[in-house]
A and B are shown apart, each in its own frame.
Chain A
């Protein structure tokens, strides 16, 4: 078996439409102080070969929603409602044993800090082979090892036949993340979730890892979800972007749309807070004031209103009293936003853009 031919176990059965379809997903954690809704009514879909970027601050529900897709939440301490369809199979409420057959096989996850996410006591080769053997019960030990070496080679680890016997702590940060990716891809998953795969790495290594992920995606034709708070990563990787705030989707659209014509003040805030190396000295770095809201007692109305500098432009006290619906943005298909502002496009062009990128604002005018 070569890596390029997806194994029958993980290839999707004939399904029309997106490979992953999440609808109205809500994840609740009961705590002593009351239920915490970490994800509320989230819907999105990812097609094979496409990449969805999920952005948001810590605690916005990015990771929690993806862990729900992987079925990694403890059933005893979480409640999941809504629908998650993977290759046509509903996985919310699926039995643990059937879920286990999908996990690491049809869908896999790459974690943030590879040093912590790899077992310190087992050789990386054994950890890779274990993932392979789990979903290939007939494979021998030697098959597993061969596959592990093959994958290490594929993700660009030099001398894979020697490094296969090393431990995680003997690799550099970038190499460790490659091992993590190799482990995620060892069973040719159709869905790959990368949870901040480059956060712990330095910039040059980040670029290498992102390139690698793109190469592999092209080769495996898998659906990819990339979770990040780095819009640079989004710009490089994602086809579509989902902006999350306080457990909800607040804006959704193609990457180009979201990065050039965002219509939700929180997305503006994210864009404003990126430092740019070549930026003119007039450009200001504007942080989003305040802190992410408590999910235990979320703000009334729009969750973002306590931190929103544009709330006065909304007539009445709509922002305080009523949760905005996720509605189509001004004029483009597929672009959704959750905001009461009547004329966001205009505000962005006249007020926000001149502040964060004066030269760009000139051009558009």
Chain B
């Protein structure tokens, strides 16, 4: 198991390396001219050609791309120094993902500051939609064909066919604005270390929106998977042994039914961790997603690159975790 995880992590590093290179190339040959943008901003739109040239030189746009990519990678491993059109030299310690063009702060530090917010949203939301979705799905599967089952399935289908951003906006409009529910009065991220209660109430609406919306999907997945498993021969065997219904369902059937649900969860949770742009934007949570959105709008290339890399890393890790969970659930899966 340990060797397997190490192997997967190493191949993950290779994937990250390839992604970093493609992101780098996209910027290099992309349509926007970062030096122009940053020069305009720095000089309040009085960018002279001479000034522009200084920025070009500083940001390395006069060198061939592979040389600059080398500098970038060296920065990740050992840190480097960065200049922004003036004589002032910024120290960027390893792992250096560059300086933000906009805030002139090290990208990695900014990312570290925003991670807790995104992790709070993602973990809380995922916890809610799993703890709601799976039991509801199991309950529906046990009552398949009944009115309860049909009502659940069709109402959840309606919810999940609403676009998520609309759903999130509506929850905010109703719960915070119209009904003025105190718990949801102030959304946003407040560090848990400073004020846990405030952290909780700030996150609550985002969790609710993610949980209520996500659980509809997980209800459908786990219901479908459960219905299938309940028809398996080994479930009949379990009943023939005289086991209680709950033992049959939760011990024998659920473990098998979870396997496909975990697969989907692994992929989705990775995306969630990489930044839930809509959630963060609507509920004003200063996390990775919101940061990425701002960076794209402002052509803050180092930040865009960092968020892309972060998303890739998170996906790789959650895939490894899913594979490990597989092998725990299903003994026929051998990790090697």
Listed in ascending order, the chain A residues whose CB lies under 8 Å from chain B are 70, 72, 96, 100-105, 108-109, 111, 113, 116-122, 130-131, 134-135, 167, 169, 183
Q: Which residues of A contact B234 (CB under 8 A)?
A: 116-120
Q: Which residues of B contact A111 (CB under 8 A)?
A: 233, 236-237, 240
Q: Which residues of B contact A131 (CB under 8 A)?
A: 241-242
Contact A167 B332 (CB under 8 A): yes
Contact B236 A117 (CB under 8 A): yes
Q: A121-B255, A121-B329, A167-B331 are in contact. Are A116 and B243 (CB under 8 A)?
A: no
Contact A169 B332 (CB under 8 A): yes
Q: A120-B330, A121-B330, A167-B331 are in contact. Are A103 and B242 (CB under 8 A)?
A: yes
23 A-B pairs within 8 Å (CB atoms) are namely A100-B243, A103-B241, A104-B240, A104-B242, A108-B241, A111-B236, A111-B237, A116-B234, A117-B233, A117-B236, A118-B237, A119-B237, A119-B238, A119-B256, A120-B332, A121-B256, A121-B330, A121-B331, A130-B241, A131-B242, A134-B243, A167-B331, A167-B332
Q: Which residues of B contact A105 (CB under 8 A)?
A: 242
Q: Which residues of A contact B256 (CB under 8 A)?
A: 119-121
How far is the CB of A204 from the nearest CB of chain B, in Å?
24
Q: Which residues of B contact A121 (CB under 8 A)?
A: 255-256, 329-331
Q: Which residues of A contact B240 (CB under 8 A)?
A: 70, 72, 103-104, 108-109, 111
- Distance of A101 Cα from B244 Cα, bound (Å): 10
Q: Is B252 an interface residue (CB 8 A)?
A: yes
Q: Is B239 an interface residue (CB 8 A)?
A: yes
Mask for B214-247, Cβ within 8 A of A = 1, else 0? 0000000000000000001110111111111100
**Chain A residue with the shortest CB-CB distance to B243:** A134
Q: Which residues of A contact B237 (CB under 8 A)?
A: 111, 117-119, 183
Secondary structure class of chain B's binding surface, majority of residues:
helix
B238, B242, B244, B245: most-surrounded residue (chain A CB, <10 A): B242
**Chain B residue with the shortest CB-CB distance to A100:** B242
Which residues of B229-275 have CB atoms within 8 Å of chain A's CB atoms? 232-234, 236-245, 252, 255-256
With beta carbons under 8 angstroms apart, the residue of B238, B239, B242 that contacts A101 is B242
B238, B244, B252: most-surrounded residue (chain A CB, <10 A): B238
Contact A72 B243 (CB under 8 A): no
Assuming A121-B256, A130-B243, A183-B237, what are 18 further A-B pairs, CB within 8 angstroms? A70-B240, A96-B245, A100-B243, A103-B240, A104-B241, A108-B241, A111-B233, A111-B236, A116-B232, A117-B236, A119-B238, A119-B252, A119-B256, A120-B234, A121-B329, A121-B331, A131-B241, A134-B243
Contact A134 B241 (CB under 8 A): yes
Mask for B317-336, Cβ within 8 A of A = 1, else 0? 00000000000011110000
Q: Which residues of B contact A130 (CB under 8 A)?
A: 241, 243
How far is the CB of A133 from the nearest CB of chain B, in Å?
10
- Distance of A189 Cα from B243 Cα, bound (Å): 15
Q: Which residues of B contact A101 (CB under 8 A)?
A: 242
B236, B241, B255, B256: most-surrounded residue (chain A CB, <10 A): B241
Q: Which residues of A contact B245 (CB under 8 A)?
A: 96
- Distance of A119 Cα from B257 Cα, bound (Å): 12
Contact B239 A72 (CB under 8 A): yes
With beta carbons under 8 angstroms apart, the residue of B233, B241, B255 that contacts A113 is B233
How far is the CB of B234 from the nearest CB of chain A, in Å?
4
- Distance of A13 Cα from B233 Cα, bound (Å): 32
**Chain B residue with the shortest CB-CB distance to A119:** B234
Q: A119-B252, A121-B331, A167-B332 are in contact. Are A135 and B242 (CB under 8 A)?
A: yes
How far is the CB of A189 from the nearest CB of chain B, in Å?
10
Please list the 9 inter-chain residue pairs (A to B) with the smallest Cβ-Cβ separation, ordered nearest first: A104-B242, A116-B233, A103-B242, A104-B241, A131-B241, A117-B233, A119-B234, A117-B237, A109-B240
How far is the CB of A276 from the nearest CB of chain B, in Å?
32
- Distance of A118 Cα from B241 Cα, bound (Å): 11
Q: Which residues of A contact B242 (CB under 8 A)?
A: 100-105, 131, 134-135
- Distance of A183 Cα from B332 Cα, bound (Å): 21
How far is the CB of A64 from the nearest CB of chain B, in Å?
13
Q: Which residues of B contact A116 (CB under 8 A)?
A: 232-234
A105, A108, A109, A119: most-surrounded residue (chain B CB, <10 A): A119
How far is the CB of B89 from the nearest CB of chain A, in Å?
60
